[in-house]
Chain A
Amino acid sequence: MPKITVPLGPQHPALKEPGSFMLSLEGEEIKDAVLRLGYNHRGVEKAAEARNYVQNIYLLERVCGICSHAHATAYVHNVEEIAQLEVPQRAKAIRMIVGELERLHSHLLWLGVAGHEIGFDTLFMYSWRDRELVLDALEEISGNRVHYSMNSIGGVRRDMSNEQIKKVLGILKTLEKRIKYYITVGTEESTILARTQGVGVLPKDEALKRCATGPQGRASGVDRDVRRDNPYLLYDKVDFKVITQDSCDVFGRLVVRALEMVESCKILKQVLENMPSGDIAVKAPIKIGPGEAVNRYEAPRGEDIHYLKANGTDVPARVKVRAPTLANFESVAYMLEGDTLADAPLIIAAIDPCFSCTDRMSLVQTGTGKSGIMSFKELRAYSIEEYKKKGIDFSKL
């Protein structure tokens, strides 16, 4: 049978953001997949070096549209660690509430997108309708539906009133019912099962080898969750389960996400019912450092790692973001091979990709306009050289 090469992206109805997947097909079966990133590079890390610490909260929040709170919080944790600020308990609780509501809205969004990828638009409409409830709650708490801008260095910017707490608890009650409905539909509807079971299989050893994180890893039996393993905020004081599945396929990822929503509701209830009282922020200095910090945060899509180097001025010396999609992206080519073309959009969607989070670097030489790919060694040598000019030596790392 002759091979056909089908481009899936950079512009394609299945992809919500640009990313390129060249699929070599034999009939319907995918024989080979070539993945390319880099259509959405915005230079966020570089831009962060030109802004002060307060401006950077809002800049890094915009690394991702869905896990905006994750990136902002991870960054703020770094700054607070270097400046040795003691964040008040109430601020931590509010950060956690926004973080868990964000997880709920992200997973509901994913459920809708996955439904759309397999042509189940009804599931898409329902889950996005219910996501609206979460967004309304977030709008009322933070003042925006997606970019909450809840964090300030040393705390949060807005307090939660008792009415707001009551309202969020009310919303949770409706959501729990709805999530139960999604779990029944997602795990019992035969067409969904036919489309998800045994699709995009990523065995546990491969998942470990390819650094899969978050729901992607947990669905392959990798029992890791930063919230439990390395608790930040108040996660050590709440009771929740880390959901894992051994089916290693898209169905497992669906189940993990659906059950994680239940756990999120549980965490939210515990925090909302035992809100600590007190201040919501401490005063932060303008100049931070010197020092460096690394922090991890369990974003809805997986583990989000932020690195920050401060040099005692009001701007950071280096900000590095490892978005969860970058870790999960590694396994996409492996999962695509051997599956059919019809599965490709679902497999790609199942890692909940966020290409704008992930895209970090594209090389265009000024003057010649030449573009190309650098090997890791070249790139490392180049970056060490660049930072030497600024007086920071990374060569020993």
Chain B
Amino acid sequence: MEIIKELIIGLFYIIVFPGLLFLVIYGGLSEWLDRKFYAQMQNRQGPPWYQPFADIIKLMSKQVIIPKAADKKMFKILPFIAIAAINTSIFMIPIFSNSALYGFRGDIIAVIYLLSIPTATLFLIGWSSTSPYATIGSMRVLTQLFAYEVPLLIAVLGPCILAGSWSIEDVAVFFTNNPWLMLVNIIGFLVAIVALQGKLERVPFDIPHAETEIVGGVFTEYSGRLYGFMRLALDMEMVVVAALINAVFLGGSFGYSGWIGLLLFVIKTEFVVFLLSVLKAAMARVKINQMVDFCWKWLAPFAILQILICIVARFMING
């Protein structure tokens, strides 16, 4: 009986909360808010709240066309790998309270690497579709991955150094106890927000699927259900990274749990989404070489500067 009970609880975690269902619903709502902010800033009306869900439902009901030259198995299985990786990473991030479901020491590294699996699947998706647009798109995905991943990782490590722990939970608890120290990380926070634009492939770094250049980029050959799942994966990824930023830079739930924790979580993650959409609205897409230049010449040095500041601050706190 115990095993069955644990199994049911485990399945609940995976499928309902904080797993699939939560991520899908919250991801859809976040996508809507992002689009609404974006539209409002452009003086447009924007979509109604159910638009992302309507899109997904419509895509689910459409026919899936797989190109003859594509690797069929890979083509079909890759969107699910992306979703699985994102789903796994949410278990290590605290959501409504300051404790994660399966927190352990060094989980922040695990989360970062789990979150690069969707990017890797994007590359494989493009590569296995074999169309020229998708191939170019997948090359760009990889180039971009090497540009933003390092600044992002370094920026996220800053708070860990300050808190003296490699666990996301501990970082959140540390900032809950010392909220003023959040200001130390302001550079790292900004670097992370910019790098996230690259991770989520949004303007100015939406180079892998720049529609006016390479049509749909890696998704060019995707259609119907499979494309729906891939879009779902990107929406879920946005929620997960927003939750990660919330836990690492913004102090998690400040020790609250329950409804207040939920409210804080929603406000802070949507604030991150808002910042992301401001960046999306205010910039033009850059070229891939400019993107790499920018990430290494500006983002990475600033991230390292942040680390130095954190080390100095750490000594000052301890000393």
Contacts and interface: CB of A to CB of B under 8 A. Distances in A.
Interface residues of B, number: 28
A195 interface: yes
A119 B206 contact: yes
Given A6-B136, A28-B289, A122-B42, A189 B213 contact: no
Interface string A1-37: 0001111000011100000000001001000000000
B72 interface: no
A13 B287 contact: no
B9 interface: no
Interface string A187-198: 001011011000
Interface string B248-284: 0000000000000000000000000000000001111
A13 B282 contact: no
Contacts of A195: 284-287
Contact of B43 (A117, A123, A125, A194): A125
B128 interface: no
Given A191-B204, A341-B213, A341-B214, A118 B285 contact: yes
B203 interface: yes
B318 interface: no
A127 B143 CA distance: 33
A343 B287 contact: yes
A342 B288 CA distance: 8
B285 A6 contact: no
A129 B273 CA distance: 26
Contacts of B57: none
Given A126-B42, A129-B43, A342-B207, A118 B284 contact: yes
B287 A4 contact: no
B210 interface: yes
Contacts of A116: 212
B246 interface: no
A169 B140 CA distance: 49
Contact of A120 (B43, B213, B283, B288): B283
Contacts of B136: 4, 6, 25, 28, 341
Interface in B32-69: 41-44
B174 interface: no
Contact of A115 (B132, B135, B284): B284
Q: Mostly helix, strand, loop or mixed at chain A's interface? A: helix
A121 interface: yes
Nearest to A116: B212
A13 B43 contact: no
Interface residues of A, number: 32
Contacts of A125: 42-44
B212 A194 contact: no
A115 B289 CA distance: 20
Contacts of B8: none
B11 interface: no
Interface string B126-143: 000000110110000000
A331 B215 CA distance: 24
A130 B135 CA distance: 38
A335 interface: no
A122 B282 contact: yes
A4 B287 CA distance: 19
A121 B212 CA distance: 12
A341 B285 CA distance: 13
Contact of B204 (A7, A28, A119, A123): A119
B191 to A, nearest CB: 17
A122 B281 contact: yes
Contacts of A13: 211-212, 215
A319 interface: no
Contacts of A344: 213
Which 5 residue pairs are nearest across A and B when measured between Cβ atoms? A119-B285, A120-B284, A125-B42, A14-B212, A191-B284
Given A13-B212, A121-B42, A191-B285, 11 more contacts: A4-B132, A12-B215, A14-B213, A28-B136, A28-B288, A119-B285, A121-B203, A189-B283, A342-B213, A342-B288, A345-B213
Interface of B: 41-44, 132-133, 135-136, 203-204, 206-207, 210-215, 281-290
Interface of A: 4-7, 12-14, 25, 28, 115-123, 125-126, 129, 189, 191-192, 194-195, 340-345
17 contacts: A6-B214, A115-B284, A118-B212, A119-B212, A119-B284, A120-B203, A121-B281, A122-B42, A122-B282, A125-B42, A125-B44, A189-B283, A191-B204, A191-B285, A192-B284, A194-B287, A342-B210
